[in-house]
A = this chain, B = another copy of it.
Amino acid sequence: MKTYLDCIPCFFKQGLSAARIAGLGPDEQKKVLDEIARIIPDIPMEASPPEIALGVYRAVRNSSGVDDPFKRIKNEYINYALSLYPELKKIVANSDDPLLSAVRVAIAGNIIDFGVGNDFDVEETLKETMEARFAILDYEPLKRTLLTLKTILYIGDNAGETVFDRVLIEEMEGDIVYVVREEPIINDATKEDAERSGIGEVARIISSGSPAPGTILSLCNKEFLNLFRNADLVIAKGQGNYETLSEVNREIYFLIKAKCPVIARDIGVKEKSIVLKRHINEDNK
């Protein structure tokens, strides 16, 4: 997905929010906004939003000297999600269709996204998501694929959401590889975050190599690219992965809560919708 003009005000909003979370004072917060303003005239609009966001969050990092401003928040949400884990397992176990329930759980966890805002309620979202109507639900082909496949590449998104992902991974069989970001950015999950969420017990964890809050293939490492090319199934969580992979020439299942109006419009659904979307590679269209 390309960057829309509506993303530009949002980059400033994100930069300001991150600057505050990094503990910068008002003058330094203003400097971060000035730095983003300096970037804006030169941004290539055909690039995806996470490519631009990379510059925004690097501005915060450079101004604050803090490598991982969201570290405390990430740990808090991982611990909180771990405390919910027994309940999540119960919801899935008591369901008529455990796999679909686990898909819903994984999508609910996607609300833990500090790129979009910090005004969310995880338990309320979980409740809603277990009942909500999917705006897109390509469930049958996913289920069919899961009966036969061998290698599953599961591209994660945020720390804390990782625990919700684990619940879905535990409903799937096969050789599962869980993919995280190369370095800390916003509250996106890194290797350490995935490990702390217990993902290591159910999947092999690798970094995509992408330092952006998404999966920018040109920045990914060979191990990831090889798996991405050859995996029997690719699942990608959240907006950042959709933004960077929505035009890629391979089959991907996107699990998303459409939290931002621009992405909702790009997918063709209403804001706040939940989506399980099968993206088909061009050759099979």
One of B5, B30, B33, B41 near A29 (C-beta < 8 A): B5
Question: Which of A7-15, A195-203, A236-244 participates in binding chain B?
Answer: A7-15
B8–A12 CB distance below 8 A? yes
Q: Which of A29-50 contact B (CB under 8 A)?
A: 29-30, 33-34, 37-38, 40-41, 45
A13–B9 CB distance below 8 A? yes
One of B5, B30, B33, B34 near A33 (C-beta < 8 A): B5
Is there a chain B Cβ closer than 8 Å to A87's Cβ? no
Contacts of A10 in B (CB 8 A): 9
Is there a chain B Cβ closer than 8 Å to A103's Cβ? no
Task: Categorize the interface residue count of chain A.
Answer: 10 to 19
Instruction: Name the residue of chain B whose CB is nearest to the CB of A20.
Output: B5
Is there a chain B Cβ closer than 8 Å to A26's Cβ? yes
A13 to chain B, nearest CB (A): 4
A271 to chain B, nearest CB (A): 11
Instruction: Name the residue of chain B whose CB is nearest to the CB of A6.
Output: B16
Instruction: Name the residue of chain B whose CB is nearest to the CB of A14.
Output: B9
A224 to chain B, nearest CB (A): 33
B5–A9 CB distance below 8 A? no
Instruction: Name the residue of chain B whose CB is nearest to the CB of A35.
Output: B41
Instruction: Name the residue of chain B whose CB is nearest to the CB of A40.
Output: B37
Compute how far the CA of A116 lies from the CA of B9 in the bound complex, rounded to whole angstroms.
14
Compute how far the CA of A6 lies from the CA of B16 in the bound complex, rounded to whole angstroms.
8
A279 to chain B, nearest CB (A): 25
Instruction: Name the residue of chain B whose CB is nearest to the CB of A41.
Output: B34
Contacts of A29 in B (CB 8 A): 5
One of B12, B26, B30 near A9 (C-beta < 8 A): B12
Contact of A34 with B40 at beta-carbon distance under 8 Å, contacts A9-B12, A12-B9 already known: yes
Q: Please list the 9 inter-chain residue pairs (A to B) with the smallest Cβ-Cβ separation, ordered nearest first.
A: A9-B12, A37-B40, A37-B37, A9-B13, A34-B41, A9-B9, A8-B33, A5-B29, A8-B12
